[in-house]
Amino acid sequence: MDAEILAVGTELLMGQIANTNAQYISSRLPDAGINVYYHSVVGDNPVRLKDAVKRALQRSDAVIMTGGLGPTQDDLTKETVAEVLGRKMVLNEECLKKIEEFFRRTGRVMSENNKRQAYFPEGSIILDNGTGTAPGCIVETDGKVVIMLPGPPSEMKPMFERYVMPYFLSKSEYVLHSVYVRIFGIGESMVESMLMDLIDAQTNPTLATYAREGEVTLRVTARCRRDEDPEPVLKPVIDEISARLGDNIFSTDGRSLEQVTADLLIKKGVSIAVAESCTAGMICSRLGDIPGISAVFNRGFVTYSNEAKVENLGVSMETLMKHGAVSRETALEMARGARKAAGTHIGVSVTGIAGPGGGTPEKPVGTVFMALSDGAYETCRELHLWGDRAKIRNLSALNAFDMIRRYLLSKYGND
């Protein structure tokens, strides 16, 4: 079954609120074997809404609508669907009683407009709203289905889970199982090139790549019967992808890059200290988000100024004067200094130019050096990043986590 999610509300078109309902519904429907092929948004205009509903029914088996079920005159979803389907609007007495009881229970005065919420297209399956006044409904027509849900996520999500998912599960014997292969260190075009024969030959499972800031995600999706184990379908393809992409893959279980890196530090018992300049504590903050990290994360230094680098990390003033704060030499001395000051197994440092000012022809904005030192081994990476200040700082942090991850895998393995 193919579905379209149609959100109703001028506030969505104007950017006043984000369409998180569509994201949520799309993430849940694969568990019922439903393909989502279209997302649409239309304002509170009866002509355009009618056209949107007609178009959705022409190209999709299921149309899931959110919004437009309120009591005001611009809440037109049910009336418009009824018109498109050629059905009358009828009063549901049980719904009316529940709405009246809701107002009594909350000590509010019910207006005449609220009665509109108890009217539905004839033949509707009513979906009770346990957290608000707007019931939803399901209308089956000519082998297709229109589902209408309230707009507020706090009302939509419980209704979707309680009624809509069981409805779809009862209609489908198939489910979609996806594994998300998360990749760092190579771009989307390179990933596609390395896997092109698999992508060209895909049937079941299917493969799709998409880029996020600093990483690439490869979605591998298998379509299986509900009682069928997806592992035999997914595993051979995942194994082949892993063989080709190697340690550029950091996760196949949904974990973030910082989570994977922190888990490795904890698992291997490798203590760490971090010295940051341009990232200003971002790496330390993300490490601190990981439960159990206190076992290995000793301390962090935010050393923005040259004086701080000298006083807290023992960076040589001669190094700073000769090579500058943003240099390989300074990054290495920062990493050594952090490790020695904290007495940890490794020290990691980041220093760079995040912009928008401060760049030079020799060291433009986006120039970043990061180093790792364990006493016997040292490495330093020079990066030339792009984007605004926030993006450069975020990419710097991600690259630092990736450097730590690769070091740990190289030295200690992944067992």
- d(CA 144, CA 139) in angstroms, rounded, equals 8
Q: Output the CA–CA distances (angstroms, integers) from residue 56 to 3, 20, 39, 362, 387, in the order listed.
A: 9, 20, 10, 55, 38
Q: What is the pLDDT of residue 414?
A: 82
- d(CA 414, CA 367) in angstroms, rounded, equals 31
Q: Would you say 380 and 330 are in contact if contact means Cβ atoms under 8 Å apart?
A: no
Q: Full-prediction pTM beyond 0.85? A: no
Mean pLDDT over each residue of the chain, to the nearest integer = 95
Going by pLDDT thresholds of 50, 70 and 90, the confidence category of residue 158 is very high
Q: Would you say 171 and 34 are in contact if contact means Cβ atoms under 8 Å apart?
A: no
Q: What is the pLDDT of residue 51?
A: 98
Predicted confidence (pLDDT) at residue 106 exceeds the cutoff of 90: no
User: pLDDT tens, 199-253?
Assistant: 999 999 999 999 989 999 999 999 999 889 999 999 999 999 999 999 999 999 9
Domains of the chain: 2-171 (3.40.980.10), 174-251 (3.30.70.2860), 259-412 (3.90.950.20)
Helix pair 46-59, 77-85: axis angle to 10 deg:
60
Nearest Cα neighbor of 213 from 404, 352, 353, 387 is 387
- d(CA 384, CA 397) in angstroms, rounded, equals 14
Which residue type occupies 260? V
